[in-house]
Amino acid sequence: MSTMQLGTYLFYRLSQVTKTVFGVPGDFNLNLLEHVYNFDESQIKWCGNANELNAGYAADGYSRINKFGCFITTYGVGELSALNAVSGAFAENAPVLHIVGTSSMLAKRGACPLNQIHHLIPPKKTYEAPDHKVYEKLAEPFSIHTESLSDENLEKIQDQIDSVIESIFCHMKPGYLFIPSNLPDAEIPVDLNKQLNFDFITKLRVDPHATSEMVSLTLKRIYSSRNPGFIVDQFMRFDLEKLNLFLEKFNFYCYNTTTARGFADESLPNFHGVFNNELSTNGTLEILDQNDFILHLGTNINEVSYFVGGSTPLDKKDVIFIGKDYAQVGTNGHIITGINCHVFFEELLQRMNSKTMPKVKTRKSTALYNNGYTVDDDSKTVTQANLSQVVSAQLRENDVIINEMCSFMFEMPNIKYSKGCQFVGQPFYGSIGYALPATLGASLAIKDYKKSGRVILFQGDGSAQMTLQELASYIRFEIDPIIFMLNNSGYSVERVIKGPTRSYNDIIVDWDWCNILSVFGDRNGDRSTSYKVEKLGELKNVLTKRLDYSDGKIKMVEIILDRMDVPFGFKKLIGAN
């Protein structure tokens, strides 16, 4: 055992799971932030954001690539502004650690009537003492693991810090660490030989017996099947390499859900499109119909990912669902708890007998990533439909596709991914404003870990308003995403739901997207290029001839769209014509 300052230990541990920490400084976290400067920038560094909500979104975006993201805010005013980002990370299963600098232990102990400290909401009876933990209590529904540090048990702090990191990683959900402002310099006992322990079985309280039984049942079904299909869903985020080796080896038909795009390698000949019940890729359900058994792996069923409200062909199928913490045999089967998809799949790989696996013939995929759209000529204006065709043609290996919750999100099942492409978005939680800061996070994760692949953001103008100050961080931290700014002068999603001509769905019509980066810090145009297009031919020309994808600059492509142009899939979702 040795000792180390708390703040230094924290960043030492964090540097094993991330290289960037996002956030906003405040007087309750300054003592903590000082400790990041004990490390070289190549180990771990600070990325200051424009505001706390953006910091949370950026950490979420980072976590989608890196499987861990982290951000730091200050007491009350900072942490509350970021709560929606944490809620989104929870709903979309992003492993994000939110660290909050809180009032000092002295203030917590010394609180007495009328001794109200700044940032702390006063009690309803103005003569009572304030509750210094009022904000911590709010985190409960949004946090899979919360630790509130104190000076009472310094010897526990190493375990508290480690365990919250471990839980976040294994659960793929956010967690909280509350650190009183006077604690970061405290010397704490630490065992530097101790390693982080990412053991799913203990962390997720897996039931080994139930898991084994489910593996046995599943293997039996696969062995007796002629043509088993594999639907890969969101909780299957880890072990993708093993999964894809398996899918490739046995040639089983496979599909990804909308939130698991790219999990099963979409360039495999046996990949047959995006499964989303009635909103699946055109042709996918006909192919799936040929599967006589389906394993739904990483199950995360919700209104959007499963298009609840529509019908599902799985009702008539022999199907087993394996989720994060349960399994289900058949769509109406009872819930069997204690089963986790990763632990399950690991055991399945170990126990399976390759020789008894069914032999499946390759079939040419007839999934049509075009929804039956006609092919427009270049003189036509850009529409959501022809944009999706252009994008499908232009995607490259390992591209990261980030979708704002704008109308174009519903075009996603029609976009064909190349090998290694990844999806980032909030199709279920749907907090508009997410994608622009998430693009900062995802881009930095790619830069930090020297991954290949372009970052491509599809951004609606209505949603861009929410968080646009983070564009300044694009310039400051030298990232180079491609931004498709889909300009339809407001909230087209809402226009189609209700109020097509109501003022509440309009935004300022004259945002000058092509010049915004110049006032946000790129005064001389060294860090960005911007184009505005209306015709299909102009768009193709910009993408194939004008843009230099290796120039390191931000690429802003503003696309003028009709105010009422929304994807077919969205109209179907809401039952509009």
- C-alpha distances (whole Å) from 140 to each of 55, 70, 97, 350, 566 are 20, 18, 14, 37, 37
Using CA atoms in the order 412, 488, 546, 469, what is the torsion angle rounded to 10 degrees?
-90
Among 111, 117, 129, 219, binds its own copies (CB under 8 A): 117
Among 251, 277, 469, 541, binds its own copies (CB under 8 A): 469
Q: Quick one: CA dihedral 328, 329, 335, 341, positive or negative?
A: negative
By C-beta, is 401 or 517 nearer to its own copies? 517
Residue from 94, 93, 36, 29 nearest 61 by CA: 94
461 has binding-site annotation: yes
State yes or no: residue 125 binds its own copies (CB under 8 A). Answer: yes
Nearest distance in Å: CB 362, its own copies: 34
Residue 418 is classified by DSSP as P
Using CA atoms in the order 162, 164, 169, 175, what is the torsion angle rounded to 10 degrees?
-150
Amino acid at 481: P
State yes or no: residue 516 binds its own copies (CB under 8 A). Answer: yes
Among 3, 16, 106, 134, binds its own copies (CB under 8 A): 134
State yes or no: residue 31 binds its own copies (CB under 8 A). Answer: yes
Nearest distance in Å: CB 20, its own copies: 13
Among 9, 71, 90, 178, binds its own copies (CB under 8 A): 90
Residue 156 is classified by DSSP as G
Helix (H) or strand (E) holding 296, with range, is strand 293-299
**Rounded to whole angstroms, how far apart are CA atoms 530 and 513?**
8
Residues 50-69 within binding reach of its own copies (CB under 8 A): 50-51, 53
Among 7, 61, 69, 76, binds its own copies (CB under 8 A): 76
By C-beta, is 300 or 414 nearer to its own copies? 300
By C-beta, is 391 or 409 nearer to its own copies? 409
By C-beta, is 265 or 480 nearer to its own copies? 480
- Are 85 and 53 contacting, i.e. CB atoms less than 8 angstroms apart? yes
User: Residue 302 forms beta bridges with which residues?
Assistant: none
State yes or no: residue 550 binds its own copies (CB under 8 A). Answer: no
Among 96, 319, 457, 468, binds its own copies (CB under 8 A): 468
Residue 221 is classified by DSSP as H
Residues 366-385 within binding reach of its own copies (CB under 8 A): none
User: Residue 190 forms beta bridges with which residues?
Assistant: 2
Residues 328-357 within binding reach of its own copies (CB under 8 A): 328, 335, 337
Residue from 206, 229, 366 nearest 293 by CA: 229
State yes or no: residue 116 binds its own copies (CB under 8 A). Answer: yes
Which is it for strands 2-5 and 482-487: parallel, antiparallel or unpaired? unpaired
Among 1, 106, 121, 393, binds its own copies (CB under 8 A): 121
By C-beta, is 126 or 577 nearer to its own copies? 126
Task: Enter the tokens of residue 352.
Answer: 């399976």
- C-alpha distances (whole Å) from 488 to each of 259, 408, 461, 464, 508 are 25, 11, 7, 12, 11
Nearest distance in Å: CB 243, its own copies: 20
E strands along 406-504, which residues? 422-425, 455-460, 482-487
State yes or no: residue 5 binds its own copies (CB under 8 A). Answer: no
Among 466, 557, 559, 561, binds its own copies (CB under 8 A): 466
| ∠ Cα 311 317 322 (to 5°) | 95
Residues 522-541 within binding reach of its own copies (CB under 8 A): 523
Among 18, 81, 211, 528, binds its own copies (CB under 8 A): 81
Residues 226-285 within binding reach of its own copies (CB under 8 A): 235
In terms of DSSP H, where are the helices of 44-181?
A: 52-66, 83-92, 105-110, 134-138, 157-171
Total residues in contact with its own copies, by rule CB under 8 A: 98
Which is it for strands 253-256 and 271-274: parallel, antiparallel or unpaired? parallel
* Segment interacting with its own copies, rule: CB under 8 A, options 151-159, 186-194, 490-498, 554-562: 490-498
Among 15, 25, 43, 156, binds its own copies (CB under 8 A): 25
Q: What is the CA radius of gyration of the chain?
A: 25
State yes or no: residue 163 binds its own copies (CB under 8 A). Answer: no
Residues 194-223 within binding reach of its own copies (CB under 8 A): none
State yes or no: residue 410 binds its own copies (CB under 8 A). Answer: no
By C-beta, is 25 or 189 nearer to its own copies? 25
Residues 33-52 within binding reach of its own copies (CB under 8 A): 33-34, 37, 46, 48, 50-51
**Rounded to whole angstroms, how far apart are CA atoms 547 and 541?**
9
Among 119, 221, 261, 454, binds its own copies (CB under 8 A): 119
Among 9, 142, 169, 246, binds its own copies (CB under 8 A): 142
Among 154, 240, 368, 507, binds its own copies (CB under 8 A): 507
**Rounded to whole angstroms, how far apart are CA atoms 97 and 17?**
11
Residue from 373, 443, 329 nearest 47 by CA: 443
By C-beta, is 504 or 549 nearer to its own copies? 504
Annotated binding site for Mg(2+): 461, 488, 490
